[in-house]
Structure 1
Amino acid sequence: MKHFHYLILICLLFFSISSFAQEISLHGQVTGVSGEAIIGANIKVKNKSVGSITDINGKYNIKAAPNDILIVSYIGYITQEINIKGSKVVNISLLEDTKKLDEVVVVGYGKQRKIDLTGSVSSANIDEFRKSPNTNLVQSLQGAVSGLNIGQVTAAGQTPSISIRGANTISGNSSVLIILDGIQYNNSLSSINPNDIASIDVLKDASSTAVYGAQAANGVILITTKKGAVNQKPRVTFSSSYTTQTPTVNLRPMNRQEYLDHVRDLYWDKAYLTDGSLNPAFNVATYVDPSMKDSNGNLSSNDFNWWKAATKTGYILENQLSVVGGSEKVNYLISGSSTNQTGFIINDKFKRQSLRVNLESQVTPWMKLGVQSFGSFVNQDGAEPSLWEIETQSPLLTPYDSNGNLIPYPFNTLDKNPFMTYLVDDYERHNFLFANIYSEIAFPFIKGLKYRFNYGNNYRTDIHNWASIYGAGITGEAYKENTQYADYTFDNILSYEKNFGKHNVNLTFVYGSAERKNNYTKADATGFDRLTLGYNNLNLATKQYTYSSAWREALNYQMARLNYKFSDKYLLTTTLRRDGFSGFATNEKYAYFPSVALGWLISEESFFKVKWVDLLKVRPGYGVSGNQTGRYSSLAKVTTSNAYVYGDGGSTVVGQELSSLGNTDLKWEKTTGINLGVDFKLLKYRINGSIDWYKNKTNDLLYDVAIPNITGFSTIRSNVGQLQNSGVEVNLTTINFDRKNFQWSTTFNFSTNSNKIIRLTGADTNGDGKEDDMIASNLFIGKSLGTIYGYQSDGIYQATDKIPSGYYVGCYKIVDQNKDGNITPDDRVVLGHTEPAYRVSMLNKFSYKKFTLSIFFNSIQGGKNGYLGANSPAVSRSDNSLRWNDIAGVNYWSPANTTGEYARSVSSPAITPTLYKDRSFIRLQDISLSYQLDFECIKKIGIQDLTVYVSGKNLATWTKWKGWDPETGQGLTTSGRPVMKGYSVGCNVTF
């Protein structure tokens, strides 16, 4: 019997070894119906305690026996059971569950299933743009979300302009509210490592933004960072990329010959004969500025390329490393990154080092503790040369003399050598620290009741030290500048969710407060005998100055929200928020912001029998959100100035005086909005999309109203008028092909937006029964904020024309609108507007086996007289125009070029009108091609996944706009900056 026991033991051991020997290493990718990678999907072996979670590329790796069955699940998708059947590679495509859709949409103070949303909330598809060379996370959102408008960048590390659904204010705060991991983020978005971001959600309509009340009138962007994984061994991911950057357009200043021709054409009345041919007796050297001649009066032989000396090919080098893992009790994400960007302009530099630690611990079955934190350290040492001075310097001059010394004033005027601002000792650092500490308690004695607190803290230091021997009129200047900013946010969030049969109730209550403070100091010194120690010994200067300032502001708020659902098809969301802000007048510190929204899943009704419609939901909503004034706008402000001198030769005494009037009735701007939305899924989820129409009205607009100067002041901050804003948004995703080895999907975004001033001050000085326009402020009743009001041009005066007094051959003609024979301000008319008619974008994604190709087009169109920009170079003969260089290739008028587009005359006209040109464009904005190496080839060296890719950004732009870039609105100007196009190569490796 004893031996029998040993025999059984040996058999079991053999069986276990045999089973182990049969195990295989299984891997693959989990995707959605449109081919997008699903991050965090659960992979389990049925009837075994073996599991895995997909990574950021949707990839997984697991040990299993040949006949095992995998259970694959993810929130919002149908759980699938898949028989391995001895395969080593199993790719899985999950189908959305019409009953459980997208439970990962982030809304204010929580998350919500997409199918339960009643407001207009969009999730950005940032995964498709991770391979683009974007050092700032919002660059990835350009054109990716309808209604979200992201501008272009022209400098290293720059944060682009951001707006949601256009303008809702005239002169109030127009900034979009940024929420990072549940905490308002007031620091630069360039401090955030884009690779740390898990999702970006955009709250657009008043019913969804009302949870943030007073600060949400311009929309809200919710940024959620990545977290650790439960029951996962440490997974290390490394990514690296290198990008070259060059301008999208080839604008440059004129070279020597072009410059001399330019001077000649400014003297066209002497340089050309009456038949338009050149006068052989004309000598351009006679008219060139003396600074460009030698001692004998001959032209300098120089042909110096100032533009080439100030520019070079830019690049971006990025390296990212992250570790993700966790147990049942603790999960973690630790990441670090290094970004080094050198722009096209020399000394346009941006270096960022960042470290993130996100930890979460399930302390007890009912309590969770966590921290989301990062530090970002930005180095922007070095000062650029002045671009305007680079572009206007004559090629006949050089920046250095024969001994290699800088020539401070090459023109012998006050126009400086641009390299005076480059050859400086410049130290510029920006350090950012962020932490959100939170705890979540699920009360065990009341199911569905949870309490969460968030304590978030932002801290920033800005240090800028600078010294130049060329400063203060070449007497030497140096300064040290220091700014410290800090804020805190403390939120108490109580939520309760309960099902009562067909009823579902979710209640959320918030009580929170925030405080922000800023301190600034600067020590400046001029007049140095020597600057050996630079800014580190300011007391060596003959003149020393100090400056300091500080401010502080506080907010508190309360919010209650009810989400109610009946029978999984009738939805209600109602919110009430109360906000208080220290910046408003004593009697107007607080305001209330309510909202209500409904949802109806028509496709769930028994009478709805349309087979090709998988989901159809309508969403009407109404809400009020607010806008804050400046922190001290309601108060009378005091300034100091040199006020008294006691006696002849006496010292000057500083006095104090009021600089602005207070307004004890100053109150909040309030934006009231309605939104009508439709969500749909058609043809077995092959077509998914939404359509939204909205109209907002902002009342009590914050504006500096002009008052009689007899009061001692020119304006007072007040509440005036009403502004209307409306538009349409369409989002559409189609699954064009879905085969075993080939998939193709298309995402299409379309949006329109227009605004109109309904009322202003109410004044009617003309007695015509109509409210006055504020022409001096470019504000017109019934017109948009971007209305262009000016003189209409009608070509260029030719030598054969009858030219009115004050105008010359080669000047712009101005249309005499009232036919009185004179050009006066009464001849100004509305020429158009700066706002576009619509924005549209299209993303196509193709997958073939292990290759993936993404192509993204973005476009802004002006329609009739829309999206116009000032672009009217005009030059007349003067000391400066003869001296300064200009952009090469500008089509100026001359006797030899009478069809020239832009004005050139011998004298300045009485009025030079501004020409406005269409900025419409179509841009190939992003393209990437990636390849995932076969796992069998790399697993032997411990690599789970290896993907290599190439990508490009801003590779082609189709537009009629002439100049730097239509999106920046910089035309044929000597003060423009180029938008960059880039080519990248990179790889992602997971261990």
Structure 2
Amino acid sequence: MARQAPVTGTVTGAGGTPVNAASVTVKGTSRGTSTNAAGKFTITVAPSDTLVVTAVGFQNLEVPVGTQTDLTVSLAASNRELEQVIVVGYGTQRRRDLTGSVASVSGSELSRQPVLTATQAVQGKVAGVQVISSGDPNALPVIRIRGTGTMLAGANPLYVVDGVISDDIRNINSADITSMDILKDASATAIYGMRAANGVILITTKRGRAGKMVVSYDATLGVKEATKLVNMAGAKQYAGYVNEASVYYGSGDSIVTAATLASGGNTDWYNEILKKGFFQNHNVSVAGGSDKVNYFLSAGYLSDEGIIRTNDFKRLTIRNNNDYKITNNFKISTLLSYSRSTVRNVDLGAFNVAYRAAPYVIAKQNGKYGNTSLSNNVGNPILDQDKNDNSGKGDRFQGNVVGEYKPITWLTLRSSFGVDKNNFRSISYGYKYANVGPDNVFLTSGSNQLRDKSSLTVTESEGNRWVWDNTATAAKRFGDHNLTLLAGITAEDIRTRSIGGSRVDVPQDKDQWYLNAGSTIGARNFNDGDRSTRNSYLSRLNYNYKDKYFLTGTIRADASSRLPANNRWGYFPSVGAGWVLSNEGFMGDQKTFNNLKLRASYGKVGNDGIPSNLFVPLATVNLPYFFNGQEVLNLRLEELADPSLKWEVTREVNVGLDFSLIKNRLSGTVDFYDRKTSDALVRINIPAILGDPNNEYITNAATFTNKGVEVALNWQDRIGSDWRYNLGVNLAYNRNRIEKLNGGQALSSGSVGGQGFTTKSDNGQPIGSFFLWEVEGIFQTEAEVASSAQPGAKPGDLRYRDINKDKVINADDRVYQGSYQPNITYGINGGLSFKALDLSFGGYGTGGGKIYNGKKAARGDFRDNIETSVVNNRWTPGNTNTNVPRANLNELPASTYFLEKGDFFRINNLTVGYTLPRRLLDKFSMQSLRVFATAQNLATFTSYSGFTPEINNGGTLDGGIELAIYPTTRTFAFGVNVGF
């Protein structure tokens, strides 16, 4: 036998990017290993051996060892990644076999960006998937797949992590993810039935492989800052504006005197409440295995201070994934994870207060705070931050135990039991402070911002979910016919519980923050909970003839306790077909396409993302009322309920084309879709005489559509042996439209200050359309005012369009002005490498959406501060060529003056890395070492004047309104990837 010796190597993909978790095995044996994060591996082989290198998304490659001791293996993408294995729900398929619309993002791409959740790292990488992130360290991103799919029910997609259904993946460490597969059309998602109306995101975490132990350590350290702030007026600008408004259009008195200015300061309140926050992320993993046992163990620690003074977030994650081969046909897998998070949240209202606070007031001096409340009736935001502590601590455990048994070669029986247990304890403490006497915290007396008693609220919440899946999969080949049949049953149970209370006069010592340490006077206790269950039957048939003709059919029957018994069951079928034209004889002589495949599908999915008691009338007991002078306790129905509620159902048609050409250097997909949601839940107004105090109830009474097209193109190539590069672009167009709503009864929402509602959802319009007065210009003369529909106006006021020409501006003159939903989303991603140097970049943008500048609109007090642009460009008799009205003392009505374009393009990520050569690594006994520098959210190009055109408020009827938001953050960081 030839002598064996260690051989090292590096596995790279497109653009020279290291391929993590690639499998390297000795051909004809079970001996093997895996690459680390830098693409490095070590394996003991003989010169006569041949290595087989495989990785998801790449063509398999065989490498004879010979006399080589240091290998460089460059993997080519599979033929449009046709051999890539895609997780499709309760199983996997080759990409070439897909008939639905499915997109995949590798774990190595996700882990490269300094973000909390993997979905944030997807931004701009997948056509038709809009990711709206926030600078808040613990915020869950808003995900919209192919537009807004509901009005009142849950609008976010379904997450499935290693088979465990979830609504929140903030506990998942991105470094532990192997792949993320996004199911977009109804044919792909129908296997999840009632949960799939908004798309499905499947996350697969890493597993060990047979071979030598691989130890990896990754670290990222950086600083976060606000990407954009709104410039507010300084003290003199502010005084000039409000005094002008008062002298010429108000009482005639100066609001801010020269003496007041002289005794005050010039405070930039945003500078006072914000900071540069430190960010760090550390991950260590150990992976390996043998013929009988494979293991993967990892630990991660993430710390994000945020950009607000009192903000802080920390997360610890531990994962252990093991596979045990009991016999040749029986395997057990355990996939376990634990996370511990601690957070100090902030009241986002601080941004609203900082926007409004008078700039001449000193923020803080010698331990005392400025009296903003005396100046313009808002509190000092620094005091609010210092005297409130809203903290929380969470523990979450997810686990899945899977057993697979193959009684015969073509049949697999699989049973998995997954649990998700989530506990969270929050403490909200308000410190006592006074405005007079020895406890006075203000620079001057007389502030109306005070708290005469400390307060404490403690809440402990618990969530428990289990999912039990049992499936049987039969896969047989009959000549040119390939057949796979899946059948299964699944059950799910969800329980939530919360308990807590509030007390006053609790000592400020944190060791005494307990309810029993406070006064029982006015004490409040609460205890709440919920339970829902689901039961489902599912089946899927995949047929393939000669790798040219494909057919997929699924059917799922779902029952949910969230719906009444007479409408509890729903049935969700789908069918899809594929035709590989490039495999046909008539395409044999063409030289253009390496692959050309046509897909078409139809499917139906549901949405039960509603409270579990929505169809049950709720009553409140022991409500007091007085009769003949006596107090009597009674019972009252608080809300009317529809006992015949049923599923929201989405039907979707999808036609797609997959292609690759120019020797597979250029590949892409094109998809056209038409989604129609029927029986959507909406709130219907009812006469007050019926007894519901809200004058409304919820029922199935709406229909709306999302229609669009998605295009994705990818190019990869190399120049010589040292240069590699790749470039990908994607573009999606979507049109959202309400087709039938409530018999014509529109839904108003989006309340902004004293303006009332700003959005209206009605037939023929997108969900959440802005409904406003239209500004035609600014009055220049008294004569223009006299001949208008606004006789009470003055020169310099906004002139509104008189829609119905009745010479009166009222509610009848409001018109639709577009929606927050963008028509276009797009992304661009690429990479370039030269020898050991690598560069990658990514960008993302939207077009066609509108943003309502709510903070600017809700100027509720005439003494509120104003933006510098308003001060500098306001109308005056000497500055009439402007679109900014005169200085005013009142809140302006809801109009297009506050509506702006939400279009933007953002450079999402820019990373430069260097991998040390082997000769240096050997000196330190390391397998790999890569150092890198990265910038996240480097620059945003937009005409929007507010904090950010990305509004993460999660609403469907009132989205796109900027009020109290957490600004988008920019991160500059550096890091290392080390392998041993």
Whether TM-score is above 0.5 comes out as yes
Confirm or deny: 8 A CA contact 1:67 1:85 kept in the other structure: yes
CA pair 512-724 structure 1, distance change in 2 beyond 3 A: same
Tell me how far 1:818 sits from its aligned partner. 2.5
**In structure 2, C-alpha distance between the alignment counterparts of 1:877 and 1:320, rounded to whole Å:** 47
**In structure 1, C-alpha distance between the alignment counterparts of 2:962 and 2:538, rounded to whole Å:** 50
Give the aligned partner of residue 699 of structure 2.
718
Q: Does 1:345 align with 2:323?
A: no
1:102 to 83, 96, 99: 83
Give the aligned partner of residue 474 of structure 2.
496
Give the aligned partner of residue 287 of structure 1.
255
Q: Does 1:695 align with 2:657?
A: no
Tell me how far 1:616 sits from its aligned partner. 1.0
Code of the residue aligned with 1:604 in structure 2: it is N
Give the aligned partner of residue 449 of structure 1.
411
Q: Which has the higher contact order (CA 8 A, sep 6+)?
A: 2
1:486 to 458, 464, 477: 464
Q: Does 1:729 align with 2:710?
A: yes
Confirm or deny: 8 A CA contact 2:617 2:637 kept in the other structure: yes
Q: Percent identity among equivalent residues?
A: 28
Q: Does 1:120 align with 2:101?
A: yes
Tell me how far 1:754 sits from its aligned partner. 0.9
Code of the residue aligned with 2:708 in structure 1: it is G
Tell me how far 1:384 sits from its aligned partner. 5.2
Root-mean-square deviation (CA, aligned residues, Å) is: 3.0
Deviates further, 348-357 or 962-971 = 962-971
Residues 645-684 of structure 1, C-alpha deviation per residue, up to 9 Å, x if partnerless?
Answer: 5776x7x565321112232221111111111011111121
CA pair 980-807 structure 1, distance change in 2 beyond 3 A: same
CA pair 633-945 structure 1, distance change in 2 beyond 3 A: same
CA pair 77-57 structure 1, distance change in 2 beyond 3 A: same
Give the aligned partner of residue 895 of structure 2.
913
Runs of 5+ unmatched residues, structure 2: 434-449, 750-758, 954-959
**In structure 2, C-alpha distance between the alignment counterparts of 1:821 and 1:925, rounded to whole Å:** 50
2:421 to 440, 454, 459: 459
Deviates further, 963-972 or 926-935 = 963-972
**In structure 1, C-alpha distance between the alignment counterparts of 2:264 and 2:747, rounded to whole Å:** 54
Residues 151-177 of structure 1, C-alpha deviation per residue, up to 9 Å, x if partnerless?
Answer: 021211222111111122222221211
Q: Does 1:605 align with 2:584?
A: yes
Q: Does 1:111 align with 2:92?
A: yes
Tell me how far 1:267 sits from its aligned partner. 3.3
Residues 245-266 of structure 1, C-alpha deviation per residue, up to 9 Å, x if partnerless?
Answer: 1111142443322322332332
Give the aligned partner of residue 680 of structure 1.
659
2:142 to 161, 177, 184: 161
CA pair 50-111 structure 1, distance change in 2 beyond 3 A: closer
Tell me how far 1:944 sits from its aligned partner. 0.3
Give the aligned partner of residue 278 of structure 1.
none
Give the aligned partner of residue 932 of structure 1.
915
After TM superposition, list the pairs within 5 Å mapping 1:205-354 onto structure 2: 205-230=185-210, 232-267=211-246, 269=248, 286-288=254-256, 299-354=262-317
Tell me how far 1:479 sits from its aligned partner. 1.9
- Counterpart of 2:307 in 1: which secondary structure? coil
Confirm or deny: 8 A CA contact 1:426 1:467 kept in the other structure: yes
**In structure 2, C-alpha distance between the alignment counterparts of 1:343 and 1:49, rounded to whole Å:** 48
Confirm or deny: 8 A CA contact 1:147 1:164 kept in the other structure: yes
Q: Does 1:440 align with 2:404?
A: yes
Confirm or deny: 8 A CA contact 1:876 1:904 kept in the other structure: no
Residues 716-771 of structure 1, C-alpha deviation per residue, up to 9 Å, x if partnerless?
Answer: 22112321111111111112434310011111111111111121233xxxxxxxx5
Give the aligned partner of residue 437 of structure 2.
none
TM-score, normalised via structure 1 length = 0.89
Aligned length: 935
**In structure 2, C-alpha distance between the alignment counterparts of 1:382 and 1:365, rounded to whole Å:** 52
Tell me how far 1:822 sits from its aligned partner. 1.9
Code of the residue aligned with 2:811 in structure 1: it is P
Give the aligned partner of residue 970 of structure 2.
981
**In structure 2, C-alpha distance between the alignment counterparts of 1:84 and 1:858, rounded to whole Å:** 43
After TM superposition, list the pairs within 5 Å mapping 1:307-706 onto structure 2: 307-381=270-344, 383=346, 386-400=350-364, 404-406=367-369, 410-411=373-374, 415-418=378-381, 419-443=383-407, 446-470=408-432, 473-527=451-505, 533-535=512-514, 537-609=516-588, 610-628=590-608, 629-640=610-621, 642-645=623-626, 654-706=633-685
2:812 to 826, 829, 833: 826
**In structure 2, C-alpha distance between the alignment counterparts of 1:100 and 1:401, rounded to whole Å:** 63
Residues 890-924 of structure 1, C-alpha deviation per residue, up to 9 Å, x if partnerless?
Answer: 35514254334333444548845243211111211
Code of the residue aligned with 1:822 in structure 2: it is V
**In structure 1, C-alpha distance between the alignment counterparts of 2:22 and 2:748, rounded to whole Å:** 59
CA pair 833-308 structure 1, distance change in 2 beyond 3 A: closer
Tell me how far 1:391 sits from its aligned partner. 3.0
Residues 570-593 of structure 1, C-alpha deviation per residue, up to 9 Å, x if partnerless?
Answer: 111101100001111120011100
Code of the residue aligned with 2:625 in structure 1: it is Y
Tell me how far 1:449 sits from its aligned partner. 0.9
TM-score, normalised via structure 2 length = 0.90
**In structure 2, C-alpha distance between the alignment counterparts of 1:877 and 1:145, rounded to whole Å:** 39
CA pair 313-99 structure 1, distance change in 2 beyond 3 A: closer
Tell me how far 1:696 sits from its aligned partner. 0.9
**In structure 1, C-alpha distance between the alignment counterparts of 2:430 and 2:783, rounded to whole Å:** 54
Residues 865-887 of structure 1, C-alpha deviation per residue, up to 9 Å, x if partnerless?
Answer: xx111137768998x322x3233
1:136 to 117, 137, 141: 117
CA pair 67-184 structure 1, distance change in 2 beyond 3 A: closer
Code of the residue aligned with 2:975 in structure 1: it is G
Confirm or deny: 8 A CA contact 2:180 2:203 kept in the other structure: yes
Confirm or deny: 8 A CA contact 2:38 2:979 kept in the other structure: no
CA pair 723-62 structure 1, distance change in 2 beyond 3 A: same
Q: Does 1:189 align with 2:169?
A: yes
CA pair 924-655 structure 1, distance change in 2 beyond 3 A: same
1:847 to 833, 836, 847: 833
Code of the residue aligned with 1:718 in structure 2: it is T
- Counterpart of 1:802 in 2: which secondary structure? helix
Confirm or deny: 8 A CA contact 2:61 2:75 kept in the other structure: yes
Residues 1-23 of structure 1, C-alpha deviation per residue, up to 9 Å, x if partnerless?
Answer: xxxxxxxxxxxxxx98xx56xx4
Tell me how far 1:791 sits from its aligned partner. 1.3
Tell me how far 1:810 sits from its aligned partner. 2.7
**In structure 1, C-alpha distance between the alignment counterparts of 2:821 and 2:70, rounded to whole Å:** 52
Tell me how far 1:35 sits from its aligned partner. 4.7
Code of the residue aligned with 1:381 in structure 2: it is R
**In structure 2, C-alpha distance between the alignment counterparts of 1:707 and 1:271, rounded to whole Å:** 42
Give the aligned partner of residue 4 of structure 1.
none
Q: Does 1:52 align with 2:41?
A: no
Confirm or deny: 8 A CA contact 1:478 1:538 kept in the other structure: no
Larger radius of gyration: 1
Give the aligned partner of residue 444 of structure 2.
none
- Counterpart of 2:908 in 1: which secondary structure? strand
Residues 818-859 of structure 1, C-alpha deviation per residue, up to 9 Å, x if partnerless?
Answer: 322221222222222322221111112101101110111212
CA pair 885-627 structure 1, distance change in 2 beyond 3 A: same
CA pair 935-393 structure 1, distance change in 2 beyond 3 A: same
- Counterpart of 2:514 in 1: which secondary structure? helix
Tell me how far 1:799 sits from its aligned partner. 4.3
Runs of 5+ unmatched residues, structure 1: 1-14, 273-281, 763-770
CA pair 963-810 structure 1, distance change in 2 beyond 3 A: same
**In structure 1, C-alpha distance between the alignment counterparts of 2:28 and 2:173, rounded to whole Å:** 40
